[in-house]
Amino acid sequence: MRYAFIITIIVLVQLFSFGAACSLEWWLQPWSTPLLIQNTWIAVFAITNTLLLLSVTKSFANSYRWISAWMMVMHFMMLTALLSSLLYGGFWLLHALGVHTFYDTEVSSIGLRVFALVFFIGLFNYTLYSAYVPVVRELSIKIDKLLTHPLRIAVASDLHLGRLFGNKSIGRLNDIVQRYEADILLMPGDIMDDNTKAFAAYNMAEDLAKLASNLRYGVYATLGNHDLYGHEQPISEALQAAGVQLLNDDVTCLSHRGQPIWLVGRFDNHKRQRVGTTELIKQVTTAEPVILLDHRPSDIMAHSQLPIDLQVSGHTHNGQIFPANFIVKAINRLGYGYEKIGQGHFVVSSGYGFWGIPFRLGSRSEVWLISLSGQPS
């Protein structure tokens, strides 16, 4: 399975290289010479395979980011060339139909390349903005259990705290939860970006502790797959020292204005020994509101048959880069967004941070603000 995955990645990056080289050849066409085109193709494939080799051999820390970033650059080249080609085809068709346009072979050729360059730069800026500037998605949910006073829940999954996403982002999250008067912050997994090096180096614990202290009930979290890649213990200790209350196959009961609310947290399924949800549910009073933190949304259908009122998840990033969001939608019952299924309400966030590279296209950095109330029918 592992070798099949590696072979798939190798084939995929070669296809990306082919597409990027074709796109560059089109863009350079007005000024091209056979030697320039030949060197362009050689350069694209040389960069791709050098970065791929460095990534596979793990020649330096975070080498996977470089091949990921280069693949994204190639992806944007192809998107730019595709859009430019569609515009060119549109101008040509209108001209052929006798519709008056500014169509001129030479003018449109240069104009489209200017457009392509501007669009490519704009695409970079937009995807950076989408990765670092979050949107707040507000949602009101009413459950069939007694909860007279609404609980205002902020949900921020997949922070991936590291060198590219750190103190400023924690501070921005602090501003959001205060502005929207959240009672509690739930973080369903992938809090760290694989380890605690950057978390410790940039003293993020201080900002995270400040965030936790500004919430009525503090911060509750579970561990995701990136929190379990060999650094589970130091990540757990660092989070707990910063005031984050971990629910790793555990339950706890809050008293919200005199009314009980149960929180249930699961390990990510990367943890083979994790406890089943049905076993955890046995530890709670199901006649009272139950909220589940589960990093992956893969068990939603099973959970919809259990007395769980609200599940919050992440992991999918809603694909992060278009068109991966369509893949996420195809392989998950609920890969992103909100839906009431069976007995419960389910929210899958695209995440507050990002994985690998700081770009989002077709997805957005976000915080969910859920107002949870209830009245038995």
Rg (CA), the chain: 24
Q: What would the pLDDT profile of 99-116 be if each residue is shown by its tens digit?
A: 555 555 555 678 888 889
Backbone angles phi and psi of 250, in degrees to 5: -145, 165
**Token pair belonging to 282:** 């046995």
- Residues 292, 314: Cα–Cα separation, whole Å: 12
pTM recorded for the entire structure: 0.90
Helices 204-213, 167-179: axis angle to 10 degrees equals 10
- Residues 353, 187: Cα–Cα separation, whole Å: 11
Report pLDDT for 102. Answer: 52
Residues β-bridged to residue 136: 367
Q: Which of 63-67, 125-129, 226-230, 293-297 has the lowest mean pLDDT?
A: 63-67
- Residues 28, 205: Cα–Cα separation, whole Å: 49
- Residues 238, 224: Cα–Cα separation, whole Å: 15
Q: What would the pLDDT profile of 155-194 be if each residue is shown by its tens digit?
A: 999 999 999 999 999 999 999 999 999 999 999 999 999 8
Report pLDDT for 2. Answer: 62
Of 301, 150, 314, 299, nearest to 223 by C-alpha is: 314
Of 337, 302, 335, 343, nearest to 316 by C-alpha is: 335
Report pLDDT for 95. Answer: 58
Length of the chain (residues): 377
**Token pair belonging to 47:** 């960069």
Confidence band for 299, pLDDT divided at 50, 70 and 90: very high
